Amino acid sequence: MTDITIPRGIYYFGKIPGQSPAFGLMGQVMANMRFDSSKNQSDRLACALGWVAALKLLNSGAIVGYREYTDLLKRECWEAAESAGLPKEIVEMVWFADKTNSFNSWMRVELIGLLADFAEQFDPAQQEFADAVAELGEHEARGFDNGLCDAIINLLKAPAGSSVWIPFDVTGQLTMRALRQGLFVVLDGPMSSSRSLLIIRLLAVIAGTSHNLSTNAEMPSTEEDEVRKSFDYLIACPPIGMKIPLASGWRLWEGFEFGLPGSEAIYKRLAGLTAVQLDRAESWAMAAMWPRIKFRAVFMTGLNLLFAKGQEQRLREFLVIGQQQPMAVVTLPPKLLQFSGIPVALTILDRTNTNGATRFVDSSSMTIESKSTMRFSRQLDSAKLVQAIEREEDIDDVAKSVTLEEIAAQECNLMPARYLKALADDDIDRVPLGELVYEVIRAPVVSKDATAVEVQEVNIPDLGRWGALEGPFLKRTTVQERKLTQCSLLPEDIIISIKGTIGKVGLIGNSVNVNGPLVCGQSVIAIRPNRNIVRPISLYLYLRSDDFMSQLEAFRVGAAVAHVTPSTLLHEVRVPVKELREQERDKELFEELCRLECEAEAVYKRIDEIRRSL
């Protein structure tokens, strides 16, 4: 080989505010490889990590007989690196186009200079390349917020040397943090792919922790020992909202815990086989993987698992009543999944937890400024979250310990807001909202019949004023004439939004039907107060209060579109009731609010007129 001059001293890393050295290196290496048309983006990412891993082995002296940076231009050097832990697949991927071992293109020469400059400024083993891979967005799955990854590892509470099963870690962020804690990590799982396993193996080589990594989980081959625990700990972050393809090998990973109350609703024996009766990835993972764990597991799921009916309801009943679990449930701040706005939660199951209570935490306010200027978001404050879970005393609106009996009485609902949003004055006499309501009017079914009648429709944009709603309303719909009487709104009916933007309220005025019949839109309902118990204006003012909104937040469900069911609204919301004579005074308060609203509107109208005249 002729002498080759490696360009040096021209690359700098970590100089851009908020950008990690590992991210800077990976970005430049990927840019260097963009001219290699023989590889797709996933191949280039693997090759980029392969070069960093080879550099790490070369500098540490692990490649016998090779010491110089220029040795990385020889295929023999890479083949010798296999005995030091470099995956054979990456050698073939880097050198597949060159069987003569003499491929020294300008691209590889520049790449050597890039890696050499990095190695002289930083120790690759001390850099978080897994986070850099996730931020690049080139991989086959989303990455996680760094603070969320730290929180999950800290909540696991696994001592060094323990075995941890991490079946869904495509980016390697959780695996690398576990390896740095001295844990033995097993990666194999229902969604493991050869490419994702290769990337994580390369990350482990770079960090010098590959000796504690296994990509082959030894699962029981028979169902005779159904309660056998295969791993000490588990971190499971299954794909959110995915319906699992049961014919593609997911059944191989199922564990079972028969004999507990509710287990017959989760597990089923049929024709000599046992299977989990759940087909959504999040609920399936909790039911199938938890039986294989000896001590503790942390699950990251969507919010639906915490409150939804059907199979999620059966699973929660099994966890709370049958297994006396979980230990803690945490709702997380938004935008912790990179390239996704799906809200998520953490559920911690612990076999050593015997206090008969669950710790509920709302961590929406537990964020810190992100160091990255590339992502306009905040990171989860993992230390504050762990502290809130471990504290014994309650923290107003943030953390509370609730007994399993109380949870069972709430239909095993595991949404923290259900238990954290307490009533403002528990000593006030209250009654369910439904006891004050004479009738509930829902949105009518839209009719496309030629004989249908066109009517006005009140919806969320019309709500939010203190003054009564008089119309006319812009939106129209068509209703069968024979059904119009039962769905038409009357003066002093109260409108409440229950879907989307929940909790907006309006009061129907006395002249509302001058412009024709009026009905509810699809996102609202109307309640007709029982005037023998409560005055409509008095009830309307309460429904505009912070006390009512606090209760409504506790009962909201829906991960994508928030909503409150009419049944929950009528039976769970509790309203303080005053004597009818005291309620008469609320009319004066209502009139004052309407007057102030009109005055404010006039002021802002005048301000706008002056602005336009400038």
Domain residue spans in the chain? Answer: 21-127, 136-420, 432-597
pLDDT at residue 361 is higher than 60: yes
Average pLDDT in the 436-444 region?
90
pLDDT at residue 328 is higher than 90: yes
User: Do the first three CATH levels of 136-420 and 432-597 match, i.e. the same topology?
Assistant: no
Average pLDDT in the 341-355 region?
88
Average pLDDT in the 230-250 region?
83
pLDDT averaged over every residue in the chain: 83
Nearest to 288 by CA among 279, 296, 415, 46: 279
CATH 3.40.50.150 assigned to domain 136-420? The reply is yes
Average pLDDT in the 240-258 region?
80
Predicted pLDDT at 226 = 47
Q: Which of 128-132, 234-238, 403-407, 600-604 has the lowest mean pLDDT?
A: 128-132
Report residue 96 as tokens.
């597949």
CA 195, 201, 202 angle in degrees (round to 5)?
90
Give start and end residues of each alpha helix (H) in 240-303.
281-289
Predicted pLDDT at 391 = 87
Q: How many helices (H) and strands (E) does the chain have?
A: 21, 22
Q: Which of 71-85, 206-220, 372-386 has the lowest mean pLDDT?
A: 372-386
CATH T-level topology, domain 432-597: Adenine-n6-DNA-methyltransferase TaqI; Chain A, domain 2 (3.90.220)
**CA gap 529, 441 in Å, rounded:** 11
Q: Which of 297-311, 372-386, 512-526, 531-545 has the lowest mean pLDDT?
A: 372-386
Predicted pLDDT at 300 = 93
Q: Please, which pLDDT band fits residue 172 given cuts at 50, 70 and 90?
A: confident
Report residue 211 as tokens.
């000796």
Predicted pLDDT at 495 = 92
Report residue 80 as tokens.
């010798």
Q: What is the 3-state secondary structure (H, E, C) of 393-454?
A: CCECCCEEEEEHHHHHHCCCCCCHHHHHCCCCCCCCCEEEHHHHEEEEECCCCCCCCCCCEE
Radius of gyration of the chain (CA): 31
Return the higher-pLDDT residue of 264 and 216.
Answer: 264
Please report, rounded to a whole number, the percentage of residues in the chain having pLDDT higher than 90.
23
**CA gap 474, 462 in Å, rounded:** 9
pLDDT at residue 556 is higher than 80: no
Q: Which of 221-225, 336-340, 382-386 has the lowest mean pLDDT?
A: 221-225
Predicted pLDDT at 417 = 84
Average pLDDT in the 133-149 region?
76
Only one residue has tokens 């002296």, namely 61
Average pLDDT in the 35-58 region?
80
Please report how many Cα atoms fall inside a 13 Å half-sphere around the Cα of residue 130, on the Cβ side. 31
pLDDT at residue 195 is higher than 90: no
pTM here is 0.79
